[in-house]
Amino acid sequence: MAANGLLNSKTIYVPYMCDHCYVLVAALKAHGVRAEALPPSDDESLAIGLDLCRGRECLPCFTTTGDIIRRAQQPDFDPARSVILMPTTTGPCRFGQYTALQRNFLEQKGLAGLEIISPNAKNSYQGMGDNPTQLRALIWQGMVAVDLLQKLLYQYRPYEVNLGQTDEIYQQCLERIVIATEAGGGKRTVKALQGAARQFERLPVDRSEPRPVIGVVGEIYLRLNAYSNQDIVRRVENVGGEVMVASLMEWMYFTNWLVKEFTWSMGMLLSFLGMTAVDKYQRYQETKLSQTVAHLLNHPHEPAIGRMLAHIRTYYEPYLGTEAVLSMGKAVDFGRNGVSGILNVMPFSCMPGLITAGMAPRLRADLDHIPWLDVIYDAQEGTNLNTRLEAFMYQATQFQRRRVKVNA
Ligand code: SF4
């Protein structure tokens, strides 16, 4: 397929948030767009970001800024033949300001020619190939596949018999999903997941001592970006837990829900119906893909967003939006599905994260006082995170035992 528009001679660079980034790049390539994932953040990119930012921005701004500049300063990088893909948003949170700020930084660094694009429905996904609708469907399919693969990883790794084997299998399966996406997805992605199911079925595990399950909620970038969250999933596993992380697709369903609520309330019937159709299609794809691994997962399907958000109506109006709504809804959903602790991760001074932390006592009171830990990240390597996690895991283990006794 040939790419369209002004960008067809340029390479689109996608900042790495999580492994879903690789299927996004693969889908772009499948649609004839030159694309490349930026390498994951590291100490160098964080240092660049911190040096440029003033300190009042949030952590994802530091790392994404640093990731862009780090790559742009490499000798093989040609700003005139490159474009950065940086999603944006509207609303109260600072994410909507990242691109404006990053354009300033590029100018400061003599990289004014390097474009930043934020494709969305309003600009008709300019530069995103000739068939943006098909492209979005392909991206969705790939992202759901990676979400499912990560669920397998988190549910199996803590119990593996041979250290490191689950990670190896995960990487192999991820690569197959990426290849399937680049080849156009569809049945290829289904097959890649079926292959993953076979590999996980054969993986030797020892579940004789079930671990307390910890539900991770909070700001999406931090939750999914291992560098920024200081590898929180592994840390919890290292102190004896099993982790369930709120998925990326949950966020997509949430934005669908918000658009549907808005268009319905404004009487925009056509837009409402259009979004309802998108939502239904995405659910259909999710169901089809999750069937391949459902027999291996405790919670293969994403809960309906409307139902999940209804859980929090007594505390907070979901239509107020921001990630606070999702984090609270997911925390209640996790709590009702048997997790033994909630970990709420957030960048320092993150408004939605702080709302969630503020509401935690009320949520916990209705969830049998489930252990809850807010972890705030400010780009400093804290020395006491492990100690706090150990204490939290102790509480979660007690909670798990109490629950088992009550249910016996
Ligand atoms: S959700 Fe929080 S961390 Fe993310 S951009 Fe908004 S304010 Fe910053």
Q: How far is the CA of 6 from the centre of ligand 1 (A)?
A: 31
- Check if the beta carbon of residue 237 is closer than 8 Å to that of residue 396: no
Q: Rounded to whole angstroms, how far apart are CA atoms 99 and 65?
A: 9
Q: What is the pTM of this model?
A: 0.93
Q: What's the gap between Cα 324 and its chain centre?
A: 15
Kindly state the average pLDDT of the residues 370-379.
92
Q: How far is the CA of 138 from the centre of ligand 1 (A)?
A: 27
Q: Does 219 sit in the ligand 1 pocket, CB within 6 Å?
A: yes
Q: Which residue's C-alpha comes closest to atom 6 of ligand 1? A: 93
Name every residue whose Cβ is closer than 8 Å to that of residue 195 and which is 6 or more positions away in sequence: 173, 176
Q: How far is the CA of 129 from the centre of ligand 1 (A)?
A: 30
Q: Does 352 sit in the ligand 1 pocket, CB within 6 Å?
A: yes
Inform me whether the pLDDT recorded for 173 exceeds 90. Answer: yes
Q: Which residue's C-alpha comes closest to atom 2 of ligand 1? A: 350
Q: Give the tens place of pLDDT for each residue, 47-97.
A: 999 999 987 888 999 999 999 999 999 999 999 999 999 988 777 778 888
H-helix or E-strand containing 347? strand 341-347
Q: Does 350 sit in the ligand 1 pocket, CB within 6 Å?
A: yes
Q: Which atom of ligand 1 is nearest to the CA of 59?
A: 3
- Check if the beta carbon of residue 60 is closer than 8 Å to that of residue 222: yes
Q: Does 57 sit in the ligand 1 pocket, CB within 6 Å?
A: no
Q: Rounded to whole angstroms, how far apart are CA atoms 95 and 137?
A: 25
For ligand 1, pick from 101, 229, 350, 374 the residue to mutate: most ligand atoms within 8 Å of CB: 350
Q: Give the tens place of pLDDT for each residue, 112-136.
A: 889 999 876 565 556 666 788 899 9
pLDDT at residue 349, rounded to an integer: 87
Q: How far is the CA of 62 from the centre of ligand 1 (A)?
A: 12
pLDDT at residue 126, rounded to an integer: 61
Collapse the DSSP code of 377 into the 3-class scheme (helix H, G, I; strand E, B; otherwise coil) and give the result.
strand
